[in-house]
């Protein structure tokens, strides 16, 4: 059985490929190359890339912001859902957050993204509340569901 993806820190030369993925995965909220470069380069951010072991193509990415005893999951996405890549990236970032002193992971997910909400619930995250109008889309403002899990999680 082959490994679905290798995980590694994002490098500056990955930004264009990640911007392409960002547009494909999150067309309503996609960040451009410049926004991504600034975000990924920030000292309290940790971003990883999921790389196809055969083609070396970036097939996913994820990132957190560290803030004291809390880590905020900013993004997670893969072009190959259902292969365990998202779970591997989430576990990697949770380990990173723990090693940096975080005790809790927070995230926001679009209210209409039931697949993501189920993914996080299955991973042990609980819905805490709603942020009204958090996402700006072509169809208008959408609410975010705030979710959290204590680290280390035992799900």
With respect to residue 78, please indicate whether it lies within any of the assigned structural domains. yes
Q: Is-contact 105 94, C-beta < 8 A?
A: yes
**Alpha-carbon gap, residue 67 to 125, rounded angstroms:** 19
With respect to residue 155, please indicate whether it lies within any of the assigned structural domains. no
**pLDDT mean over 85-90:** 96
Beta-carbon contacts of 54 under 8 Å, excluding residues fewer than 6 positions away, are 2
Predicted pLDDT of residue 29: 80
User: What is the residue range of 10's domain?
Assistant: 6-150
Give how many domains the chain has, as a whole number.
Answer: 1
Predicted pLDDT of residue 75: 93
With respect to residue 1, please indicate whether it lies within any of the assigned structural domains. no
Q: What is the DSSP code (8-state) at residue 133?
A: E
**Alpha-carbon gap, residue 135 to 23, rounded angstroms:** 15
* Tens digit of each residue's pLDDT (9 = 90 or more) over 106-130: 999 999 999 999 999 999 999 999 9
* Tens digit of each residue's pLDDT (9 = 90 or more) over 10-36: 999 999 999 999 999 888 788 889 999
CATH (domain of 116): 3.40.630.30
At 1, the pLDDT band (50, 70, 90 cuts) reads very low
Q: What is the DSSP code (8-state) at residue 83?
A: S
With respect to residue 87, please indicate whether it lies within any of the assigned structural domains. yes
**pLDDT mean over 41-60:** 95
Predicted pLDDT of residue 153: 63
* Mutual angle of helices 33-41 and 15-25, in 10-degree steps: 110
pLDDT at 72 over 60: yes
With respect to residue 28, please indicate whether it lies within any of the assigned structural domains. yes
* Tens digit of each residue's pLDDT (9 = 90 or more) over 91-103: 999 999 999 999 9
- Please, what is the average pLDDT of the chain? 92
At 135, the pLDDT band (50, 70, 90 cuts) reads confident
| Local structure of 16: helix, strand or coil | helix
Q: Tell which residue, 9, 1, 11, has the closest CA to residue 89.
A: 9
**pLDDT mean over 142-154:** 89
| Local structure of 136: helix, strand or coil | strand
Cis peptide before 134 (omega within 30 of 0): no
**Alpha-carbon gap, residue 39 to 64, rounded angstroms:** 10
pLDDT at 155 over 60: no
């Amino acid at each position: 059985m082959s490994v679905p993806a290798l995980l590694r820190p994002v490098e500056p030369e990955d930004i264009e490929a990640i911007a392409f993925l960002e547009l494909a995965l999150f067309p309503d909220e996609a960040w451009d190359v410049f926004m991504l470069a600034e975000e990924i380069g920030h000292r309290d951010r940790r971003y990883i890339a999921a790389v196809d072991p055969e083609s070396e193509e970036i097939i996913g990415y994820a990132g957190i912001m560290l803030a004291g005893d809390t880590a905020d999951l900013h993004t997670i996405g893969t072009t190959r859902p259902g292969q365990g890549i998202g779970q591997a990236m989430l576990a990697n970032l949770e380990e990173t957050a723990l090693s940096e002193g975080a005790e809790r992971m927070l995230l926001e997910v679009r209210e209409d993204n039931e697949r993501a909400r189920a993914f996080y619930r299955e991973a042990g995250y609980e819905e805490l509340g709603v942020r009204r109008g958090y996402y700006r889309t072509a169809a208008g403002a959408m609410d975010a569901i705030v979710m959290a899990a204590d680290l280390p999680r035992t799900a």
